[in-house]
Amino acid sequence: MRDQPKAFDLLEWYDVHARKMPWRIGPADRAAGVMPDPYRIWMSEIMLQQTTVAAVKDYFLRFTKRWPTVSDLAAAEDADVMGAWAGLGYYARARNLLKCARYVVDECDGEFPGTYDELLKLPGVGPYTAGAVSAIAYDQASVVVDGNVERVMSRLFDIHTPLPTAKPELTERAAALTPSERPGDYAQAVMDLGATICTPKNPACGICPWRAPCKARLAGTAAELPKKTPKKPKPIRYGTAYIARRVDGAFLLETRPDKGLLGGMLGWPGSEWVEDDPPHHDMPIKAEWKTLNTEARHTFTHFHLRLKVMTALVPMDRAPKVGEFKEVDDFRPSDLPTVMRKAFDLTKGSDAD
């Protein structure tokens, strides 16, 4: 029985079992000298933050077809990018995507920096993304630690310190295993191992390339790791969304402020989201408002949201106090963030539809 896990064993497994992804250059092609496009790796990593591979694939393909280079993305209209991102969540990522693309074009001559330290200077790029891009795109021996890697390391070394307290120790363990040869393939191999073998529930220890040195498997504790500090219950916030439709079919919409939740996204005018009853506020347009007998519900990272939905049908000559009317041919519900689309879907069959 081997005492220490070896990167070679994992890479040997990865050469056979690497997941196929639209942004990934497989191990055989990399061995032949084909290197990934840093732009595609960066975009995939931004999209994958707090999101699953399955959810990201279609978005990635649409983005890279519409904006195949960082220069194309940098030249895009903000509203087009925000609309294309709608439904993927965590909308600050979309704003940072544009900021970073424009920085790369304006300050880096359209080329992504090739080192961890330089990548870390880019807008919206933190230690994880800088590590992933430098390792995967440039084959540097950078440490890449996502949720999958944390789980693998906690089990491999039987670490019972709960997350997030354990993160420095898990990162140190991951750094010690990162090889100088094929570090890009290795970074992807550890993530693949966590996603397909060392899964949160029912890990397939019997076919794991690191089963022999895995301390948690030997101790019988793999299923309970990694441990996590219990989360506090999420509070509930309440608000109101106003969906006004003009008699010609146009909808009253507003672009939300850049800062804050759903920043820069298209949405319905409405109240603030608060933990008590929504404060009194002016309607966005004078109309006979009707309240739907159901509400739009959505969960964000830190709270649950319950939106009262009010609808109105307004004449052509009525001017709004907030937002502007968007012609029916220019309005795509798919451009709305998920919570706004949920509110819209509730209007089906109402006077606002």
Residue 140: predicted pLDDT:
94
Q: What is the pLDDT of residues 249-262, one digit of tens each?
A: 999 999 988 788 88
Beta-bridged to residue 270, according to DSSP, are 241
Residue 352: predicted pLDDT:
46
Residue 280: predicted pLDDT:
67
Of 121, 146, 118, the residue nearest 134 (C-alpha):
118
Residue 278: predicted pLDDT:
66
Report whether pLDDT(88) > 90. no
Which H helix or E strand runs over 237? strand 236-246
| Average pLDDT of the residues in 54-73 | 96
Q: Average model confidence (pLDDT) for the chain?
A: 92
- 111 by Cβ neighbours in 10 Å (0-12 / 13-18 / 19+) ranks as exposed
Query: Hey, how many other C-beta atoms are within 10 angstroms of the C-beta on 76?
Result: 18
Report whether pLDDT(289) > 90. yes
Q: How confident is residue 154, by pLDDT bands cut at 50, 70 and 90? A: very high
Report whether pLDDT(350) > 70. no
Q: How confident is residue 353, by pLDDT bands cut at 50, 70 and 90? A: very low
Residue 71: predicted pLDDT:
97
Q: DSSP characters for 259-321?
A: SSTTTT-EE--B---BSSSPPP---SS-S--EEEEEEEEEE-SS-EEEEEEEEEEE-TTPPPS
| Average pLDDT of the residues in 59-77 | 96
Which H helix or E strand runs over 244? strand 236-246
Q: Specify the pairing of strand 236-246 against strand 304-314.
A: parallel
Instruction: Note whether 320 and 252 are within 8 A (CB).
Output: yes
Mind listing the domains of the chain with CATH numbers? 7-224 (1.10.340.30), 236-345 (3.90.79.10)
- Alpha carbon distance 208, 132 (integer Å): 23
Beta-bridged to residue 233, according to DSSP, are none
Report whether pLDDT(90) > 90. no
- Alpha carbon distance 282, 304 (integer Å): 24
Report whether pLDDT(232) > 80. yes
| Average pLDDT of the residues in 153-171 | 96
Report whether pLDDT(291) > 60. yes
The residues annotated with a catalytic role in the active site are 45
Report whether pLDDT(208) > 80. yes
| Average pLDDT of the residues in 83-108 | 91
Q: DSSP characters for 88-156?
A: S--THHHHHHHHHHHHHHHHSTT---SSHHHHTTSTT--HHHHHHHHHHTT--------HHHHHHHHHH
Residue 351: predicted pLDDT:
47
pTM for the full predicted model: 0.80
Report whether pLDDT(180) > 70. yes
Q: What is the pLDDT of residues 296-338, one digit of tens each?
A: 999 998 899 999 999 999 999 999 999 999 998 888 888 899 9
